[in-house]
Structure 1
Amino acid sequence: MQILTQLIEAAGEVLLYAVVLGAGLPALFAVGVWALSFGAKGVDDVSEHHPHLIAKIFAGICFAGVVLAILAGIFIIVGHGFGVTLQLGWPLFVAK
């Protein structure tokens, strides 16, 4: 019974990470692109469209979040290859 409980907990973690990383990051990127289009009146207005400053800042925050998540993933993979782990919060490599 203990093995079944561990299996369900592990499957829940995999599902959580899949939803957050597999759907959350593309959704965050899409929100950033949407923010850049905020204020456009239609398809004909795209060539003359200049996003609002607040929309640019919000989009930049969204894009920075996506880039930071990608970099964290790369650092975790590379760190495990070198035998160290990455402590998130403040990025710090420590020996295993």
Structure 2
Amino acid sequence: MNQILAALDAAWRILVVGIVLGAILPTLFGFGIRALAWGTGGDAETHDEGVMPPPHPVGRWIAGAIFALVIVVVLLGLGYILAHGLGMTITFNGLMPVFTPKA
């Protein structure tokens, strides 16, 4: 019975990570692309007049923040994989993550 509970525990963790990395991050990236298009004055629809809407500087700031968040999450994921491959753990002793040997 303990093996079944351990397998279910691992399965829900894998499901959550798969949803976060497989659905939420690409969706955030798509919102960043949309905000970047809004920030440069682009539009997803075509217009017959050929007149582009005016650019919005706020869109560029939003796009930059979203892209920065996506990059940080990807780098933290790579750091997690690297740390566990080297037999270490990641600790946050402040702002920056630090690799520490497993005790």
Query: TM-score scaled to structure 2, two decimals?
Result: 0.75
Residue deviations 1:61-80 (CA, integer Å, cap 9, x gap): 11011111111122122222
- Out of 75, 79, 83, the position equivalent to 2:83 is 79
Distance of 1:12 and 1:62 partners within structure 2? 27
Unaligned runs of 5+ in 2: none
Counterpart of 2:36?
36
Q: How does 1:2-13 map to 2 (within 5 A)?
A: 2-13=2-13
Counterpart of 1:94?
100
Q: Which amino acid aligns with 1:53?
A: P
Where 2:99 maps in the other structure, the secondary structure is: strand
Query: TM-score scaled to structure 1, two decimals?
Result: 0.80
Percentage identity across paired residues of the two chains: 37
Q: How does 1:24-63 map to 2 (within 5 A)?
A: 24-38=24-38, 40-41=42-43, 42-43=45-46, 51-63=55-67
Distance of 1:67 and 1:50 partners within structure 2? 28
Which protein shows a greater Rg? 2
Distance of 2:11 and 2:72 partners within structure 1? 25
Q: Is the 8 A contact 1:35 1:55 kept in 2?
A: yes
Distance of 1:75 and 1:50 partners within structure 2? 41
Where 1:63 maps in the other structure, the secondary structure is: helix
Residue deviations 1:18-57 (CA, integer Å, cap 9, x gap): 00011111111001001122264533569x5664121111
Give the CA RMSD over aligned residues.
2.4
